[in-house]
Structure 1
Amino acid sequence: MNHCPTSPNRSGLIEMILAMTICGTIGLTVTLSGLPETQLIFFRCLFGALILGLLCWHQGIFSQTRYTPTFWIASLIGGTALLANWYFLFSAYAKTSVGIATTVYNTQPFMMVLICLFLFKEKITKSIVFWLLVSFGGLYLISSTQIHSGKPYSGYLTGIFEALAAAALYAVASVAAKFLKNYPPTLIAFYQMLLGVVIFLPFADFNLFTQTAPVSLSAAVTLGVVHTGLMYVFLYGAIQKLEAYKVASLSFLYPVLALLIDRCFFNIHLEPEQFFGVILILTGAAGINLKALFQHILTTHFIR
């Protein structure tokens, strides 16, 4: 009877697939809302903080946690970077497309490598340089030709740079999280959402609940409850149960689903060179993210 030990792994796979499916629909939800980025971020943080706060309270995390200056400083830096990342990513959706912005956003592993190179003097290998060149070759192909969306090319390029800025800011948030390894991820996320509520409160328009179209209201609530609270629960549950290489491999469901949404919901067609650019970016990111996969296969099946 050896099926019991695999059940956490199986549930982790399901949770990761659900988390990435939810992530893949963020762009669709943002676009359908028709609301300004600042409004969306405020309500995402508000409802996200409620869900995550209840979860932390239910698990007794608040009473068990010992806070240090490092926690507050790293949470502040990481939270600010995460919020700015959302702003630029949401803005990029409107200027490019959900699929293009999400694909460019997936250059974040390279941003992480570059930040660690400068901050922690980590070595950069020839393979990393190769995958970096592959990914940025794809970025050039995506940027060189505009998609047929009726949007001005200058705005399209701005959206590309905003998606890159979002990727860099997410990498900053990830580096800040390195200093918070001893704290529950749900607690970190809760305080980051709380920070967002405070920062974006001046932009909040509570008439959203009475004077806004049902679609916009539903999108704002969904973004906070499903795409923040529920997604974090699934994502962190998966990370705790799965090996790193499985998390990295399944994370590519996110951009693939975003590209399918472009095609199915917005009827956006990529030019051949842009499609090839998407392949290059995702391949380059895979070269970094899935390195652990090849190491795992090698050590498990060939090295005894």
Structure 2
Amino acid sequence: MKGWAVGKMALAMMIFGSVGFFSEQTGIPAIELVFVRCLCAMVFLGGLWYATGKYKEEKWQRRSVMQIILCGFFLIGNWVFLFTAFGEEGASITIVTSIYHLAPVIALVLGSIVFKEKLSIFSFLAMVACLVGTILIAGEGSSISVDSLLASGIGFAFLAAICYALLMVGGKGIQGVSTYAVTFIQTSIGVVMLLPFADFDAFIGLTMTNWIYIIATGLIHTGIVYVLFFDSLRELPTSISSALVFLNPVTAILSDVFLIGFLPTWLQVAGIALIFIGMVCTFVKPRPRTIVQEKAS
């Protein structure tokens, strides 16, 4: 039923939109939080993969396996940079989330380079809007430098967006493998990657509230959200799923404003609006008539 699928997708996006607020309440650094997230997702989704019997239906291909592994590194980099951005002193969830959602536009640019995809007028407008929006957001300080951008979370958010874009581009063409298998492999890679760097002393002295937010970030924001997202994605047309994706940043911004008390300046509001406009432009496809005319010319 499409209505049920819409509800699951909407719930998944709203839950994930609160991940920035939850991460700030955990009381642990980014690497340790991502490690817990990978561990919880590996166990939870791996258990579902086995329980549903999907592991029996997998059709392993060398190319797909290599893509999954490569994308696993991009996924972990994406999470580490994103949570690092949230954890920077003075960084706001609103600004970090807005910069992070440059990923579709970056993916467009990468796609045009790697796959020789032609950029439409809407794609060009998306890049211009997002570029201007980023300048407005980053230019709020008295000076712009690498140190100031990293301290504000903008630099790390941009690195997270690049990793996310690489994940989107690198994941194209994966066939014969279920989403459970993909996520299980990638989060397993994350556990192995981050184990040598995780400082388990960071978990000492945490309150019960901290632990609730940590477990919620691992089980709910990763395990349950992934199940809701992938189960609904296959039932919905691209137009609806693309529109529902906007609930993610909207929820993040609302939680930042009403729960944390962040108030962006007018220039930052304009920059955020331009990035959202850029996101909209990435979802607009040219009409068939336009494509025919381009081929004819």
Alignment TM-score, normalising by the size of structure 1: 0.87
Cα pair 2:125 2:281 within 8 Å, conserved: no
Distance 1:97 1:156, change over 3 A: farther
Shift of 1:162: 1.4
**Structure 1 counterpart of 2:85, which letter?**
A
Match of 2:123 in 1: 128
Match of 1:180 in 2: 174
Match of 1:86 in 2: 79
Match of 1:299 in 2: none
Structure 1, residues 28-65: CA drift from partner, whole Å, max 9, x if none?
11111121111001100001111100110111111221
Aligned partner (choices 239, 243, 257) of residue 263 of structure 1: 257
Match of 1:39 in 2: 32
Gap regions ≥5 residues in structure 2? 289-297
Match of 1:189 in 2: 183
Larger fraction in helix: 1
Shift of 1:125: 2.0
Shift of 1:106: 0.7
**Structure 2 counterpart of 1:275, which letter?**
V
Match of 1:302 in 2: none
Alignment size in residue pairs: 283
Higher mean displacement: 20-29 or 203-212:
203-212
Q: Secondary structure at the match of 1:203?
A: coil
CA RMSD of aligned residues (A): 2.1
1:142, 1:160 → 2: CA distance? 9
Structure 1, residues 162-182: CA drift from partner, whole Å, max 9, x if none?
111111111111122213133
User: Quick check: 1:69 aligned with 2:62?
Assistant: yes
Cα pair 1:82 1:173 within 8 Å, conserved: yes
Structure 2 matches for 1:102-117, cutoff 5 A? 102-117=97-112
Match of 1:300 in 2: none
Shift of 1:278: 0.6
Q: Secondary structure at the match of 1:258?
A: helix
Shift of 1:216: 2.2
**Structure 2 counterpart of 1:84, which letter?**
G
Shift of 1:261: 1.2
Structure 1, residues 198-247: CA drift from partner, whole Å, max 9, x if none?
11112345567764222222222111100100000010011111100111
1:183, 1:14 → 2: CA distance? 26
Shift of 1:94: 2.5
Aligned partner (choices 280, 286, 298) of residue 274 of structure 2: 280
1:109, 1:69 → 2: CA distance? 27
Structure 1, residues 90-140: CA drift from partner, whole Å, max 9, x if none?
111133211111111111111111111111111112221112101111111
Cα pair 2:107 2:166 within 8 Å, conserved: yes
Distance 1:156 1:13, change over 3 A: farther
Q: Secondary structure at the match of 2:171?
A: helix
2:274, 2:232 → 1: CA distance? 27
2:67, 2:84 → 1: CA distance? 26
1:127, 1:25 → 2: CA distance? 30
Match of 1:24 in 2: 17
Match of 1:249 in 2: 243
**Structure 2 counterpart of 1:270, which letter?**
P
Distance 1:295 1:31, change over 3 A: farther
Alignment TM-score, normalising by the size of structure 2: 0.89
1:215, 1:203 → 2: CA distance? 25
1:153, 1:56 → 2: CA distance? 46
User: Quick check: 1:217 aligned with 2:211?
Assistant: yes
Gap regions ≥5 residues in structure 1? 1-7, 297-304
